Amino acid sequence: MNNINACCASLIRTGFGVLSMPPSMLRHRDVMIDQYARIPAATKSEYRFPSDTDGFLEFGSEYAGSESQPDLCERFCYWHRHATEREHRFRQSEFFSAAVAYEKEVSEMAQQLLDAIAMEFGSPVLPSIRSHSYLQLCVYA
């Protein structure tokens, strides 16, 4: 919590703060990076839910400013709120397990930081943001 409190104080004082990722988050990140190249193209094509911004999204489907300026990357998005809606063997993969664990930890850190900022200003803490945010991994060729 000291890391959260220091970041909160810095944000309030300077508008900038740094949070250190715990070792478990770093391990989950490393697993995602290592396993990504091993995911078959067929799986990426099957585990795609573009209307929900979930799963593997088409290359170049994200853009900056206008659709004529695509971001040339592959994307994997994970929404906790859709976690129980998807049935697919990919959900048993090491990559997917690491993404779920990473998202859980990062959303807990974000919630703690938002709660600390609210408390600093005497505001009520916010309801959980986890169902309203998602993990996005961008992979550039």
Which range of residues forms the domain containing residue 66?
22-140
Domains contained in the chain, number: 1
- Residue 74: what are its φ and ψ, rounded to 5°? -90, 150
- Whether 121 is in a domain gets the answer yes
CA torsion sign, 85 to 60 to 92 to 133? negative
Q: What pLDDT score was predicted for residue 80? A: 94
Q: What pLDDT score was predicted for residue 61? A: 67
β-strand partners of 138: 75
Q: What pLDDT score was predicted for residue 1? A: 54
Task: State the 10-residue block means of pLDDT for the chain, 141 residues long.
Answer: 83 91 95 95 94 86 68 88 89 96 95 91 89 91 72
- CA–CA separation, 89 and 69 (whole Å): 34
User: Tell me, what CATH number does 118's domain have?
Assistant: 2.60.120.330
Q: What pLDDT score was predicted for residue 62? A: 66
- Whether 86 is in a domain gets the answer yes
Q: What pLDDT score was predicted for residue 141? A: 72
Q: What pLDDT score was predicted for residue 66? A: 67
- Whether 112 is in a domain gets the answer yes
